[in-house]
Structure 1
Amino acid sequence: MSIARETAGLDATAQAGLVRSGEVTPTELVEAAIERIESLDPTINAVIQRRFERALDEAAGPLPDGPFRGVPILLKDLGTPMAGEPSHLGSELLKRIGNVAKEDSALTTSIREAGFVVLGRTNVPEFGLVCTTEPAAYGPTRNPWDLDRSTGGSSGGAAAAVAAGLVPIAQGTDGGGSIRMPASHCGLLGLKPTRGRISLAPAGDGMEGHTTNGFLTTSVRDAAAALDLAAGYRPGDAFVPPPPAASYAELAGQAPPRLRVGLLDVPEVNGYPVDEEVRAVTRAGAQLIASLGHEVEDAYPQALLDAEYLRRWQELLSPSVSALFEDLERLAGRPVARDEAEEMAWWWRGIGERITATQHRHNQDWRDDFTRRVASWWAGGFDLLVSPVLPHAAPRLGFFDQPDGLRRSVDILCFTPQFNTTGQPAMSVPLGATATGLPLGLHVVAAHGREDLLLQLAAQLEQAAPWADRRPPLHATAERMSA
């Protein structure tokens, strides 16, 4: 059996262990990942920029002796610039003008210092503005579990690449659920850390503090170790969460205390129905948590179902999209034509241009009040909240292109963006599936700064209901398509 097949099912920690023991070289790991990408990615379209020759040169050179020395990784084409590399953000215009990054982000530097070898970049929706990865610039990314289905967004290419076994781990960003939603759709663990846990340096967050860097993984130990390498203050960071009591890798290996867990299980959120299969998986997850010795009760912050939330959230973030268009025009040296950006971007821009400075200030006040209303529930004695990630499983490609697609792309956000607003850590755990086999994640949220509890519970769930051997039928599908 080839190294490419032997390592396809191994997590990043296991692959790093093979390098440390001398069983494989970094070059062999990178070559194996390249082989998998070249074989399988034409089917799913997850990797839209490839730097294979440079990656092979780096693998053969003096890699940093970090915890993931020689392990291949993919970066999202949004949020982790690498000096001299393409930076298109899912935009046809940026692709056409050949935009490249001027400097590395702090996270890019941390990833490379950990010994990872970057193979390229993953597909994203234009500017990360929609819950599916179908940009006009690069075409749709297909879900490895069902090629007619969406991977979610905006870290959809990253999720597809890991789910298909192209690489064991991929970087993502989460501004409203963009790590957790693709993780749920693709059967992965997706952790959104506390705001500020991973620095956004040298840039700031142009989305009112909602954007957080993170990773999509197949194992809890990878999620913990990746958070360890990425976390840390950089001079000038606006948000600095409390440090953990020990490394996340160490904390993830410890049993949590008996936790008080609330369950949010409702048939609809502000008129958007929650599928019964999704609710069943959520209840089953809550029952599993209870069987592990934790206290679970039907309880949640009432503010989460505030009918005003999504309108306020759009108004709060949309001026950032209007400002983004001004940045695009500076890069292009001219106004952006109507056909040079997708309808979703124009929709967000239009909302932003209607918001006055006074309205924006009132929305910021509303955000702060909302955050306090939500956080007070945790302060009242709860440790975690369990809910669905999304109201239904991965939709078919084109779901958001229908006449009401723009509205639907917001209404679907029933459970995730609230915790970008509050800045709390949250994760999607791959615990369930529909009757047809589409993955469904369990959403778990902790208080500010308590990633340790999320990782500890996830480790318990991973042991009680292992998911590592669940693989999408991509290999057989790819063979049929090429026959």
Structure 2
Amino acid sequence: EKTVALLRDLGHEVVEAEPQMDAKQMCMDWLSVWFGQCAAEVDEVKALTGCGDDGFELDTLAIAAFGRATPAHEYVKCQTRWQQYMIALDTFLEQYDFWLTPTLAMPPARIGEMATPGWQQSALKMLLKVGGEKLLMKTGMIEQMALENFKYMPYTQFANVTGVPAMSVPLHWCESGLPLGSQFVGGHGDEGKLLALAAQLEEAAPWFDKVPM
């Protein structure tokens, strides 16, 4: 709301609107592709370095296991839906210069706050030890872990999936003094427009003196 007020003071027209897409499905599709890429990268690192599973954190091994357990046809379906998300966002941005969202949905997490709980770590170790990738997939544990992270940042995936430029501008600070950020999403090739807007916003509401206590 503060960012909207600032934009209007600077002469911008701001209206409430959003692209027509299934945001939750998009996040899950993004996860499936991310998991598949993680599995491929873990295999590549092992081949290049000769390391074993002990060279990776438990969460990384679990994500890679989920990626291996995802059938190829499901991976392709996710990629196909990505095209639909791109079309939906492009259609939306034909009407507007930018799409404004928060960068985070809540104040930044404390160190360790997003760590996998002990009971989940024990379950993951057991399932990975016995090669239970498909069983792991059916438990819903990985999706739960991922959605726990998504609750902090449900907005940034739109640009990641659709390949458009976006920027986070530190225009709001929590009571703790930590920045929350306002995200501006542009269309393909709008990097120059985003930087011009950032320059205008920084001149009107400078943040260079915002430093940790």
TM-score w.r.t. the length of structure 2 is 0.81
- 2:114 maps to 400
Task: Give the C-alpha shift of residue 402 in structure 1.
Answer: 4.3
Q: Report the Cα distance in structure 1 between the residues aligned to 2:199 and 2:93, rounded to whole angstroms.
A: 22
Unaligned ranges ≥5, structure 2: 121-143
The alignment of Structure 1 onto Structure 2 pairs a total of residues equal to 187
Task: Give the C-alpha shift of residue 412 in structure 1.
Answer: 2.9
In structure 2, the residue corresponding to 1:413 is in which secondary structure? coil
- 2:125 maps to none
Q: Deviations over 1:406-459 (max 9, x none)?
A: 332244331001111111111111111012211121111111111111111111
Aligned with residue 351 of structure 1, among 66, 90, 94 = 66
Larger CA deviation: 455-464 vs 325-334 = 325-334
Aligned with residue 20 of structure 2, among 302, 311, 320 = 302
In structure 2, the residue corresponding to 1:323 is in which secondary structure? helix
Q: Report the Cα distance in structure 2 between the residues aligned to 1:411 and 1:347, rounded to whole angstroms.
A: 20
Q: Report the Cα distance in structure 2 between the residues aligned to 1:396 and 1:415, rounded to whole angstroms.
A: 20
Contact kept in structure 1, 2:39 and 2:68, CA below 8 Å: yes
Residue pairs, 1:59-208, within 5 angstroms: none
Amino acid at match of 2:58: E
**RCO higher in 1 or 2 (8 Å CA, sep ≥ 6)?**
2
Q: Percent identity?
A: 31
Aligned with residue 7 of structure 2, among 269, 272, 289 = 289
- 2:138 maps to none
In structure 2, the residue corresponding to 1:386 is in which secondary structure? strand
Q: Report the Cα distance in structure 2 between the residues aligned to 1:411 and 1:331, rounded to whole angstroms.
A: 35
User: Is residue 2:57 matched to residue 1:342?
Assistant: yes
Greater per-residue helix proportion: 2
Q: Report the Cα distance in structure 2 between the residues aligned to 1:326 and 1:398, rounded to whole angstroms.
A: 28
- 1:390 maps to 104
- 1:469 maps to 209
- 1:53 maps to none
Q: Report the Cα distance in structure 2 between the residues aligned to 1:459 and 1:297, rounded to whole angstroms.
A: 22
Amino acid at match of 1:387: T
Task: Give the C-alpha shift of residue 302 in structure 1.
Answer: 2.9
In structure 2, the residue corresponding to 1:435 is in which secondary structure? coil
In structure 1, the residue corresponding to 2:78 is in which secondary structure? helix
Root mean square deviation of aligned Cα = 1.7
- 2:193 maps to 453
Alpha-carbon spacing, 1:344–1:410, altered in 2? closer, same or farther (3 Å)? farther
Q: Report the Cα distance in structure 2 between the residues aligned to 1:470 and 1:401, rounded to whole angstroms.
A: 28
Amino acid at match of 2:176: T
- 1:444 maps to 184
Q: Report the Cα distance in structure 2 between the residues aligned to 1:428 and 1:422, rounded to whole angstroms.
A: 17
Residue pairs, 1:409-420, within 5 angstroms: 409-420=149-160
Alpha-carbon spacing, 1:457–1:297, altered in 2? closer, same or farther (3 Å)? same
Amino acid at match of 2:66: I
Greater per-residue strand proportion: 1
Residue pairs, 1:258-273, within 5 angstroms: none
Q: Deviations over 1:281-312 (max 9, x none)?
A: xx110110111111101111132x52212211
Q: Report the Cα distance in structure 1 between the residues aligned to 2:210 and 2:68, rounded to whole angstroms.
A: 46
